[in-house]
Structure 1
Amino acid sequence: MKPDAIPPITEDDIANYLANTPDFFERHASLLAAVQLTSPHGQRAVSLQERQAEMLREKIRGLELRAAEMIRHGQENTVIADRLQRWTRELLLTREARDLPVVATRELARLFLVPQVAVKVWGVDAPFAAETWASGASDDVKAFASSLSLPYCGGNPGLEAARWLDDPATVQSLALIPLRAGAAPEAFGLLVLASSDPQRFAADMGTDFLERIGELTSAAFARLRPVVPAVVH
């Protein structure tokens, strides 16, 4: 390169100059009206002001969609919270302890539109040992329930718990919720929610709501378990 050669001006040079010279368009206001850009909605040329207006309208539309989505999620959460409150109320109003499993599964199906629901409870107090929901869980199922730190969601690979349902052949996805007494490592029951929709209980879904269901069910079913006498020191 010759010593006196001047390097060509690049687009970056122009962009940097305009960015660092904010009063340029104040001194050359007529240039703004002369600048023509290609519209994203076709090949026609539009002025800089019109292009900026289009960009602003697109941004507003995006914000409106986000706001609508937030409102929809808020409404859905309100509906879920209302249903959870009504389900909990049904459990609290159940006078006979032996009716709790039937009420819990029936109202879960009704209020949350779950096609099939079942539950098994083991280690129950003697008066409840003959109930249908207190038998039929194998040692493998009990060990599996105890191994779950979170509810299981996903397909039905021939799980034994799916056979507790009325129509296990139609199950495409299910949720298995372990029942525990507080932070006890051993589960004393397993709640099964099932659907013919493969996406209803998908493997990647959040489990926060199902965990709340498990905690409330476990607390209600405490009435079914033997009372442990307090240790006097």
Structure 2
Amino acid sequence: MAKIKLGPVVAQASGSVAGTVFSRNRGGTYMRTRAIPTDPNTVDQQNVRAILATQSQGWADRTAAERAAWENWATQNPVTDVLGAAIVLSGHQAYVRLNSRLDFLDQTLLTAPPIINAPLALDTVVQDGDIGLGDVTLTFTATPLAAGVVLWIQAAVVNSPGITYIRNLLRFVGSSAAAQASPFDDQTLIEAKFGALIVGQTLHARVSTFDVATGLLSVGLESRVVITTT
């Protein structure tokens, strides 16, 4: 699926042309290829669906006052889409977004929206990848992290160094302990998701800071390394 920005000549698009479907949702106008999606129904998919279903049900259990608070919070805290446009989520979307992250890490869920800002982003992050020395680590600053803040790690492993666009390949692999000091050994997390690393593969990491009390996530920094052994 691709998002598009329309101009003064074409202000709106809907329907399909030669297998391309034009539509619009709360996030703006988008286009996609008409297709029947596959559903591999992996364990990860099942886990994500279960978490989303649980949090959506949690929204149904909120009081009218709690829902109004989430609607107000969502209005004041728009998110940025891939085109840089500000998107205002619904209260339901904001509630599910934050609580799903907390649920992933088995943290206490929110009934009311947070009243503080997201944690500060990392200043720097470097992913190392020497499997011979067992040095598959993230070195980062500032260190250590604040109390109640963990590393939120997404990664992708590709077999060709020529593949540089990996946003659609990134997978959440796990988190560090709270108040983690640099460096952090992320090899176990990565290999649990992608299998044993092999010399010549390229490991991409996208690392944010995550507040385990609020569900808020910082802007992520990216680093990549070609796996070696010494």
Give the TM-score of the pair, scaled to structure 1: 0.25
| Bigger strand share | 2
Whose RCO is larger (CA < 8 A, sep 6+)? 2
Give the TM-score of the pair, scaled to structure 2: 0.25
Larger radius of gyration: 1
